[in-house]
Amino acid sequence: MEAALIVLDGWGLGDEDGGRDAVEAAHTPVFDRLTRTGASGTLEVAGRRVGLPDGQMGNSEVGHLNIGAGRVVYQEYTRISDSIADGSFRENDAINAAFDHARGNTVGQGSDEPSLADVRENDGRVHFIGLVSDGGVHSDHEHLHALIELAGDRDVEAVTHAFTDGRDTSPTAGRDHLADLEAVVEEHGTGDVATVTGRYYAMDRDQNWERTKRAYDAIVHREAEYEAESAVEAVEESYDRGTTDEFVEPTLIRDGPALEDGDSVVWFNFRSDRARQLTRMLADIRPEDWADQFETNPPDVEVVMMTQYDETFDLPIAYSPTQPENVLGEVLADAGKTQLRIAESEKYAHVTYFLNGGREVEFDGEVREIVESPDVPTYDLQPEMSAEGVTDTAIRMVESDDPDVLVLNYANPDMVGHTGDYRAAVEAVEAVDTELGRLAEALEEVGAHVFVTADHGNADDMGTEEDPHTAHTYNLVPFVYVAPDGTDGGKTVRKGGTLADIAPTLLESIGVERPPEMTGESLLE
């Protein structure tokens, strides 16, 4: 065993201006010892330093992409925002094709561009679907606003199916976001909200198809338990029932249309993982393990993905991926190194797909182990999650298979931090510290270089009891290096580092030359 990279997901370093800091409050003797005996420093994980717009907090997808690439990876988020700013967004082929498809379905028929009256007569609509949020993790509501403005300018009848956040934003931020949306709709005369649904239902990624089906039924069949006069009223009534943004039950806005044959769908989420299940249902892309919730005859619609949600989806993409070459896993494989990737299911994609540059590929010598996350509604109910199982798996495979490089993710600080439950977040951090101790001991026995870091913050700012904070933070994250002998190896961590510097540092420690595509620099001096 040569090296191990351990990602403490959501473990940031809070500051005095933040809310309750579960990382600081937790009893973490192992982490504290490693920072004392090893070389320790901090990394920047937000904004342009990780390829995001200025002022935008980092997230797990972006974090692992940058870690694996060994360079700053400019995200689709940034590309979309920049295209809106420079005007090229308005000429996007996939988006304009979706508009044309809905406008009387005249594409390819040689007809002149239809008027708005023709569109109304033909009942062709574009349905904008996605997370109405400024969280910047899965979407940015400014992108939706730009779509609505474009639809208004092109005389396209559009409606919006709004998913509320409450996870990457405060639990009741949806009210303001929907109020902003309603103002944009009024200004441009199109884009009325037809349904409002919490992301818990609309954006499930763990094969809970019954949740996805509830969002689908609201959009396609206008079937839901609740109705409201407006989008803002929908969330306000949900709050009155004690349900905040993430868990808003599908709600129909009166007089909103259903998704029908001949319509177009334009997703505005730029992150892929939580858009896949609903995309499958809307586009009738059935999973291999057949889900009973799929319809026999779904509506015949054109579905456009804002970014590539899945390589197997044969659907138009507004912003095709730009995938980095010569990422960490590829370089290790080319050097003949074996590598082990381990995480529980909530973060499995991050140590595989995202770490590999957003590619569904297993490199030579790459072994993957997934540990199922607990089957609970929210992780504050089980803050230890599956950390023990992740550690057990890692120790067993390190001892039996002796991989050259281990990459492992502990999900707890992030996933429990998203619940807003401060006490549970403290327990989550302490559970990770305990497991980190077991793993560090096993790695020291095999003489590995050990790197401990985080992809972004979360549990380091839990807000107040009255106003819990459930989103990621802008804070720095730790970077700790422990040499094979358990010391700092005579090294120090330079200042000003980013996640892009981790892969070059790891490669240097095991004597593998970094490729020219990796523009990150070693963090150790």
Give the active site residues: 60
Record the tokens describing residue 113, joined without a space. 């561009």
**Which amino acid appears at position 190 of this protein?**
T
Residues whose CB is less than 8 angstroms from the CB of residue 297 and which lie 6 or more positions away in sequence, other chains included: none
Identify whether the C-beta of residue 137 lies closer than 8 Å to the C-beta of residue 77.
no
Say how far apart CA 207 and CA 212 lie, in whole Å. Answer: 9
Q: Of 518, 456, 403, 504, give the one whose Cα is nearest residue 4.
A: 403
Say how far apart CA 412 and CA 323 lie, in whole Å. Answer: 28
**Angle of helix 60-69 versus helix 502-509 axis, rounded to 10:** 40
- DSSP state, 346? G
DSSP string, 273-302: GGGHHHHHHHHT---SS--TTS-SS----E
Record the tokens describing residue 61, joined without a space. 């997808």
Record the tokens describing residue 94, joined without a space. 């996939």
Record the tokens describing residue 453, joined without a space. 């870091």
Record the tokens describing residue 205, joined without a space. 């990624």
Pairing of strands 366-371, 339-344: parallel
Identify whether the C-beta of residue 266 lies closer than 8 Å to the C-beta of residue 283.
no
Name the region of 450 (left: φ>0; alpha: ψ -120 to 50; beta: rest): beta
Record the tokens describing residue 358, joined without a space. 């957003």
Query: How distant, in Å, are the alpha carbons of 82, 315, 435 from that of 320?
Result: 15, 11, 39
Burial of 229 (0-12, 13-18, 19+ CB in 10 A): exposed
The upper half-sphere exposure of residue 158, i.e. CA atoms within 13 Å in the direction of its Cβ, equals: 33
DSSP alpha helices (H): ranges in 480-523?
502-509
Residue with tokens 């709600």: 251
Q: Which residues does residue 340 pair with via DSSP β-bridges, in sequence order?
A: 367, 406
Say how far apart CA 269 and CA 285 lie, in whole Å. Answer: 18
Say how far apart CA 226 and CA 139 lie, in whole Å. Answer: 25
